[in-house]
Amino acid sequence: MRSLYRRQLTMMVSIMLVSFTLLAGAFMLLSYRYIIGETRDSVERNAGYISSFTSTYYRRYLTLDVQDEFYSSYVATIAMISNSHIIVADPAGGILYAAAPDDGYGYSFENSVLPEGIVSEVRSRGSFNGMTNLGGIYPERRYVSALLVTNQIVGQPMVQGMVLVAADASNLSEMWSSTATIFFFSAVVVFLISVIASTLTSAYQTRPLNEMAEAARKFGQGEFDVRVEGYEDRGDEVSALAEAFNSMANSLEKVESQRSEFIANVSHELKTPMTTIAGFAEGILDGTVPPERERESLEIVVSETRRLSRLVRRMLDLSRLNALAESTVTAQETFDLTEVMSRVLISLEAKITSRQLDVDVQMPEGKLMVWGDPDSITQVCYNLLDNAAKFAAPGTTISIQIAKKDGKAHTTIRNLGATIPPEELPLLFERFHKADYSRSMDREGVGLGLYIVKTILGGLKENITVTSEDGVTQFHFTLTLA
């Protein structure tokens, strides 16, 4: 596996090498052109001076006496000032005179002849410019500029010789050597700085990722209390990732807690009736329960068996609803909400009457068509009205109100009874949750009714809220109008 550090380091080194190569190449090319240009202008100018002076000397004396002190001093002075070699040759390329700074630096020009190619180019084009060693006259290449020496004889131009100025080109090599040295040391320094910077930045970036990977491994081992901390103030993508990771960890911890609580609640709800059934059944079989109490014991066994049946049925309903919620349940058909509520009221009539409750119903006179699953909404209305009848104080009134507002059907179910503590309200829709005040009153309940209500409405993208103040408990939910 290639680490982020190696990838980042490789990328930075590659960018540096390419950048320094391009910069060094561009700098050396520009420097070469600049120095060559300066050298060319200088030697061409000096060659022009010597050519003009030699041409004038020919016109005045009709011959060239290279031993003439006046001529030789002039040429030597220019050679000294320009730090260049000056060669005067006849039209065929034979060297007649040569002057160089510091006595020629050991070069010998006696009986030397210029290369035929250079002589031909000078005679045909009138000049020559370029890098050459003059056919071995110089052991190194020099920049040479050559011009013809001409005069008008009887109205016709006549070539009387040629002049060459050879400049030392070693400064180019020195410049390239210096550039290479500067480039090398600069590249080494920048490379070291980049390695250090890459190491620090990679560690800065990968440390939280490694911590998250370690935390994820601990999650796999069942440790859900691990968090990635210390990156809240970074303000970058890693900070956002750490925040999202911690949020996921909180969710996983909550899910694990709910799972454990679910198993504990199911175990508790199953254990109590099963223990009761087993106890009375064994009592009847071994004679512990007297014959005159057998019927009473069997009634208890039947009651607990029905309770188990209701618990299993609710759990099956819950499993079905969770499966539907995962597949994103949406409104399926239209139905009349007032008709559904009326049927539910009729089915609960016996229970409402047994508790001496009154019902105050405020619904539209005509049909109120909404979107949803009529069977699921029937279960919602039944669970809410059943809870209202179960926990309402005897002789009080249950209020049912359905109204249209902003494209929604708003349903409110209200009862009078014990006030639910504020800290209990957010927990009412949890699985197997039953408020402490209701445990003795609701032996038949299993704590899944309101959770099923919340699940059904959540699958339909609808809301449900609950309030409880001064003995008035109110549930309110919405449905989309058709």
Question: 128 pLDDT exceeds 50?
Answer: yes
Question: 355 pLDDT exceeds 80?
Answer: yes
Q: What's the CA gap between 321 and 70, in Å, rounded?
A: 119
DSSP at 392: B
Q: Are 147 and 129 in contact (CB under 8 A)?
A: no
Tens digit of each residue's pLDDT (9 = 90 or more) over 192-212 = 887 788 778 877 777 777 888
- Of 129, 168, 125, 169, which is closest to residue 146 (Cα–Cα)? 129
pLDDT at 410: 95
Give the count of beta carbons closer than 10 Å to the beta carbon of residue 5: 15
**In which band, very low, low, confident or very high, does the pLDDT at 379 lie, cut at 50, 70 and 90?**
confident
Position 395: which residue type? G
Q: Quick one: fold of 333-480?
A: Heat Shock Protein 90 (3.30.565)
Q: Identify the helix (H) or strand (E) that includes residue 422.
A: none
Architecture of domain 224-327: Orthogonal Bundle (1.10)
Helix, strand, coil share (%) of the chain residues, nearest 5:
60, 20, 20
pLDDT at 204: 76
Tens digit of each residue's pLDDT (9 = 90 or more) over 66-91 = 888 888 889 989 988 888 899 999 99
- Structure-token match 């079989």, residue found: 285
Which range among 5-9, 162-166, 282-286 has the greatest average pLDDT? 162-166
* Average pLDDT value for residue range 160-189: 79
pLDDT at 123: 92
Q: Are 166 and 139 in contact (CB under 8 A)?
A: no
Q: Are 128 and 142 in contact (CB under 8 A)?
A: no
- Of 63, 267, 247, which is closest to residue 149 (Cα–Cα)? 63
- Could you tell me how far CA 388 lies from the centroid of its own chain? 52
Tens digit of each residue's pLDDT (9 = 90 or more) over 266-325 = 776 677 678 888 888 888 888 888 888 888 888 888 878 887 887 777 677 666 666 655
* Average pLDDT value for residue range 393-420: 93
Q: Tell me, yes or no, if the two domains 4-174 and 333-480 fold the same way.
A: no
End-to-end C-alpha distance for the chain, whole angstroms: 57
Which residues, listed in sequence order, are joined to residue 99 by a DSSP beta bridge? Answer: 86
Residue 421 CB-half CA count within 13 A: 8
Question: 264 pLDDT exceeds 80?
Answer: no
Q: Are 400 and 362 in contact (CB under 8 A)?
A: yes
Tens digit of each residue's pLDDT (9 = 90 or more) over 413-467 = 999 998 988 888 888 887 666 654 443 344 455 567 788 888 888 888 899 999 9
Mean of pLDDT over the chain: 82
pLDDT at 265: 64
pLDDT at 318: 64
Q: What's the CA gap between 250 and 215, in Å, rounded?
A: 12
* Average pLDDT value for residue range 226-249: 79
pLDDT at 11: 81
Q: Are 391 and 418 in contact (CB under 8 A)?
A: yes
SS3 321: helix
pLDDT at 446: 53
Tens digit of each residue's pLDDT (9 = 90 or more) over 35-47 = 777 778 888 899 9
Instruction: Domain 4-174: give its CATH code.
Output: 3.30.450.20
pTM over 0.85: no
pLDDT at 356: 92
- Of 386, 378, 415, 382, which is closest to residue 400 (Cα–Cα)? 415
Q: Are 276 and 302 in contact (CB under 8 A)?
A: no
Q: What's the CA gap between 38 and 210, in Å, rounded?
A: 60
* Average pLDDT value for residue range 97-102: 83
Q: Where are the domains of the chain?
A: 4-174, 224-327, 333-480
Q: Identify the helix (H) or strand (E) that includes residue 162.
A: strand 156-168
Q: How many residues does the chain have?
A: 482
Rounded to 5°, the CA angle 84-90-91 comes to 115
Which residues, listed in sequence order, are joined to residue 481 by a DSSP beta bridge? Answer: 370
Listed in sequence order, the residues at least 6 apart from 359 whose beta carbon sits closer than 8 Å to its beta carbon are: 345, 352, 397, 398, 399, 400
Question: 411 pLDDT exceeds 50?
Answer: yes
pLDDT at 437: 45
Q: Starting from the edge strand earliest in sequence, which strands make up the sheet with 142-153, in order? A: 95-99, 84-89, 156-168, 142-153, 127-132
